[in-house]
Amino acid sequence: MSAFQTSGFQTSVDIARQQPYVVASLAGQKRPPSGLSKGDTKNPISHTTTSFAADSHRLDIPKGQGPGFIRPQVTLPRSRLVASEIHSATGCIPGKNDQQQRADASLQDPAQGSLPSLKDPRFGLPLSLVTNFAALGVNSIYQWQASCLLGEGLLEGKRHLIYTAPTGGGKSLVADVLMLKRIIENPSRKAILVLPYVALVQEKLKWLRRIVQDVEKHIVDTDNHTGPGHHRWRPLHRSIHVSGFFGGSKTTASWSDTDIAVCTIEKANSLINTAIEECSIGDLGVVVLDELHMLDDEHRGYLLELMVTKLLLLQQDIQVVGMSATISNTELLAEWTNSRYFISTYRPVPVDEHLVYDNAIYPAATSRQLFQTISKLTSTRGLSFSDAMPPQRAIKPSMFRELSNPITNAMVALSIDTVTAGYGALVFCGSRQACQIQAAIISEAMPDPSTLQLDDLDKRLDLLADLRSLPSGLDPALETTLIKGVGFHHAGMTTEEREAIAQAYDQGVLKVLVATCSLAAGVNLPARRVIINGARMGRELVGPAMLRQMCGRAGRKGKDEAGETYLICGKSDLQAVCDLLEADMPAIESCLAPEKRGLKRALLEAIATGLVSGREAIKEYVKCTLLYRTVDKKLSYSIMNSALQELADEKLLQTEDNESYVATQLGQAVVSSAFAPEDGLFVHQELKRALQAFVMDGDMHIFYMFTPLQVAATTQIDWPIFRDQLDALDESGLRALQFVGIQPGFVNSMVQSGASMKEDTPEQVTQAMVYRRAYTAFQLRDLSNEVPLPVIASRYRIPRGGVQTLAQQCRGFAAGIVKFCQRMGWGMLAAVLNHMRDRLEAGARADLLEMAQVTYVKGWTARLLRDNGFRNLRALAEADPKDIVPVLMTVNSRKTQRNSLHPTEAERYAKKLLAKAEVIIASANKIWEREMQIGLDE
């Protein structure tokens, strides 16, 4: 328990509310006006209504306000619910001096002492890099970071490193320093930084590009650049180039002109494979593996293990740095990688953890005692629960029907309590639907928007205008909650919506963010108070690692001086929650075990890239796996032999006279396309059939081929929709789908019976995959034929964010299909598929591919611009931004929203669209000038 919380005392939020001074605000929040009475968090204008007419210059200025105050005349929903009060169960309130001592204690840690500076010569960092860190708020580092960095051989790149530290404890800085120092001091070497999610890759890209700005590598000037470590054929640049590589991205950067590649797991593995195959792996100097606990992920963990295994076998001068907040067997991982290891438990911001049960708040540390007390009470009469187990604080039961459930009542009370103290709350819910429902309930209890300062209201109205200007329009559910300062965030939303809402919360524009657990792992958003609304995420109880990830969002250095977590649970989950709170982090295990089939891919990749070939070399490779460290040695070799035999039987490998293995052309194609062996074999069969009779007078056959197997595996078919789309197909499309195995009669029978497809035999599994891919192909066809995203979402009854995710995954899979065809020598098929891949990327037909390169201009937008006179890229580049705004207004399919806008909101909306129009024209000019230059060069 931190210094902020002692039994009977109030929370850090309570203490902050009673401070005689103004408490520190989150970044982007406006401080309350001076002159407020102690404990008063309301704006002085809260009880005065002000307005202005669109055609009048008269101002109504409330008492106490200077001239120039204008309240925009917008319809603001009034609060309908009142959050329950939270009070101390014992009535014991700490004195003023005690409060101040607790606040001071939370900001200091005697063990940390005076913090070392990045200027310390022991770190050997150039002044330009230190200056950039300082500009982003990193002036000093914690003692644990310094101790870790100064471990023997680490700063020189001679030793690998595996380390753990709590979320918010400064893990990333250690890896950043090691990686950047390696690149700066070894200018011919490269770095790969591996992150599990696209959102994290994009976030890290922005950070690193700011950090390396104006930082130069240590290049010795010579006439021909042929000094030690330099390559004659690749001139070295002084500046540091940071590039992003992730699924579906068409980056202009190549591996050859990149210094730091920020990658998803799949892209990093592919880059390393290519470097090994092309014998350029010596260019690699350091590999950083963030979120190392992903080793245990059942879908992608084996790829991380593959990467590390290949690097260990190579025994090149490549430093491996791995980090995580949620691994328990750090020492084992260090032994596997022959690394130094470091474990830190330091959190610069203290975090209090609580359990909330039946409108009562308990320290999480007493959860087991709580459960035992409840169990005892079930067999004992006459003893009240509150007497047997007094809580720290109690939440008053609510008289409102919507808050009659104690879990909901606690969530709303804790959220509103945080907001009224001037802080941000992050609420985790178990499903997308729950996010929207809970956000709506919290917004109903939020302080009235008319009490807001003008600056805060302006920012929320700007956020609404931003979202309204998106092609997908403003979600009505968001419109009602955002104006009250509450947002929600889940995978069913579009990328643009999620980014805008996350940024608004981070800047303090939104006070409460309700999210699914995917936010905990995917985006770096801190909060003063994290509220976990129920212990289940979906149907499953949340695991210890995910719970740690969610709780890790509470309190962040530079944002808050304290953090709090509240896990709210009901009676049915109480025992499971008590077990969860006491559970250790699970030990990381290998994903190459037989049941996970990862070793097959590991061996195929190693042999196809030329890393190993003979049986003894393959054994050495297996010795470098985590699997070899965690199972019986004989068992690991038995698994190896079985995998090699399967690969040979599937004609992915073949043996030679000297008992060595080589990859067949098919095996090479599978590896170069980054497919798993099973997926590669399935794709090969489909493509072989396509070569016999490819339906070229339409595009359904291609869209079917581009549908990722992983996406199809989880697709739920709505059979009446499938039948309707099948009935609407032209002769070409129907012929293509019948060729791959779709039978209209079977679809009709599924509609009539309402049954699900059987998947009991291999034949039934294959049939189910074919039908799911065909169903998904309809959505791909619509995407590439300029059907607006909201229309597709409505047509197939899926979230808009799901349509976007499908498009992104399909682009990556399509790139793999094209590479597969090229490796198999099917050049004509590869060319046809590559053209359609461009259409998929642009979301447009062939005649709009050029225009769809422009920022903010995708399929439907491009078509509307074309139809309204902007016939080509040149016409768009020469346009007046004001002429484009009316076209952009027609992009939004929610016309009723625009028609009902108040003049003030309509004006904001128009300004946002004008700003977008200016970006569109600037982007069109840039592309047009580049094309003109290419034409001149030729």
Q: Looking at the structure, tell me whether residues 818 and 874 fall in a common domain.
A: no
pLDDT at 264 over 50: yes
pTM above 0.85, yes or no: no
Give the model's pLDDT for residue 828. Answer: 83
Q: Looking at the structure, tell me whether residues 304 and 388 fall in a common domain.
A: no
Beta carbons of 268 and 276 less than 8 angstroms apart: no
Q: Looking at the structure, tell me whether residues 798 and 767 fall in a common domain.
A: yes
Q: Looking at the structure, tell me whether residues 555 and 482 fall in a common domain.
A: yes
Give the model's pLDDT for residue 220. Answer: 66
Among 587, 602, 627, which residue terminates a domain?
587
Give the model's pLDDT for residue 456. Answer: 80
Q: Looking at the structure, tell me whether residues 377 and 455 fall in a common domain.
A: yes
Beta carbons of 455 and 72 less than 8 angstroms apart: no
User: DSSP for 316-379?
Assistant: -S-EEEEEESS-S-HHHHHHHHTEEEEE----SS-EEEEEEETTEEEEGGGHHHHHHHHHHHTT
Q: What's the pLDDT band for 34 if we cut at 50, 70, 90?
A: very low
Q: What's the pLDDT band for 718 if we cut at 50, 70, 90?
A: very high
- For residue 813, the 8-state DSSP code is H
Q: Residue 707 corresponds to which tokens in the numbers above?
A: 């549908």
Show the domain range for 773: 667-843
Q: Looking at the structure, tell me whether residues 633 and 704 fall in a common domain.
A: no
Q: Looking at the structure, tell me whether residues 291 and 390 fall in a common domain.
A: no
CA dist., res. 573 & res. 842, Å (int): 48
Q: Looking at the structure, tell me whether residues 427 and 548 fall in a common domain.
A: yes
- C-alpha atoms less than 13 angstroms from C-alpha of 68 in its C-beta half-sphere: 2
Among 647, 663, 679, which residue terminates a domain?
663
Mean pLDDT for the chain overall: 81
Q: What's the pLDDT band for 160 if we cut at 50, 70, 90?
A: very high
Beta carbons of 672 and 820 less than 8 angstroms apart: yes
Within a domain: residue 79?
A: yes
Give the model's pLDDT for residue 229. Answer: 45
CATH of the domain at 317: 3.40.50.300
Give the model's pLDDT for residue 47. Answer: 34
Q: Looking at the structure, tell me whether residues 244 and 369 fall in a common domain.
A: no
Q: Looking at the structure, tell me whether residues 369 and 461 fall in a common domain.
A: yes
Beta carbons of 516 and 489 less than 8 angstroms apart: yes
Number of independent structural domains in the chain: 5
CA dist., res. 344 & res. 334, Å (int): 15
Residue 239 dihedral angles phi and psi, to the nearest 5°: -75, 160
Q: What's the pLDDT band for 771 if we cut at 50, 70, 90?
A: very high
Give the model's pLDDT for residue 536. Answer: 82
Higher pLDDT, 43 or 606: 606
pLDDT at 1 over 50: no
Give the model's pLDDT for residue 284. Answer: 94
Burial 7-22 (b: 16+ CB within 10 A, else e): eebbbbbbbbbeeeee
Q: What's the pLDDT band for 250 if we cut at 50, 70, 90?
A: low
CA dist., res. 350 & res. 352, Å (int): 7
Within a domain: residue 115?
A: no
Within a domain: residue 427?
A: yes
Beta carbons of 271 and 261 less than 8 angstroms apart: yes
Beta carbons of 306 and 269 less than 8 angstroms apart: yes
Q: What's the pLDDT band for 438 if we cut at 50, 70, 90?
A: very high
β-pair partners for 242 = 260
**Closest Cα partner for 533 from 500, 566, 558, 510?**
566
Q: What's the pLDDT band for 449 if we cut at 50, 70, 90?
A: low
846-870 average pLDDT score: 82
Higher pLDDT, 929 or 531: 531
Q: Are strands 242-245 and 260-263 parallel, antiparallel or unpaired?
A: parallel
**Closest Cα partner for 357 from 531, 543, 90, 571?**
571
CA dist., res. 925 & res. 556, Å (int): 42
pLDDT at 108 over 50: no
CATH of the domain at 704: 1.10.3380.30
408-432 average pLDDT score: 92
Q: What's the pLDDT band for 52 if we cut at 50, 70, 90?
A: very low
Q: Encode pLDDT of 196-233 as tens digits.
A: 888 889 889 999 999 999 998 887 665 444 444 444 44
Q: Encode pLDDT of 460-489 as tens digits.
A: 989 998 898 888 888 888 988 999 999 999
Q: What's the pLDDT band for 109 if we cut at 50, 70, 90?
A: very low
β-pair partners for 52 = none
Residues sharing a CB contact under 8 Å with residue 525, sequence separation 6 or more, in sequence order = 426, 502, 505, 506, 513, 519, 553
Place of tokens 């629960």: 385
Q: Looking at the structure, tell me whether residues 463 and 576 fall in a common domain.
A: yes
Burial 325-364 (b: 16+ CB within 10 A, else e): bbbbebebbbebbebbbbebeebbbbbbbbbbbbbbbbbb
Beta carbons of 373 and 177 less than 8 angstroms apart: no
Q: Encode pLDDT of 517-552 as tens digits.
A: 877 666 778 888 999 988 888 778 888 888 888 888
Among 314, 343, 372, which residue terminates a domain?
343
Within a domain: residue 548?
A: yes
pLDDT at 596 over 80: no
692-700 average pLDDT score: 80
Residues sharing a CB contact under 8 Å with residue 194, sequence separation 6 or more, in sequence order = 263, 264, 265, 268, 287, 288, 289, 290, 304, 307
Give the model's pLDDT for residue 249. Answer: 56
Within a domain: residue 119?
A: no
Neighbour order of strands in the sheet with 242-245: 242-245, 260-263, 190-194, 284-289, 319-324, 160-164, 339-343
Give the model's pLDDT for residue 277. Answer: 87
Q: Looking at the structure, tell me whether residues 478 and 524 fall in a common domain.
A: yes
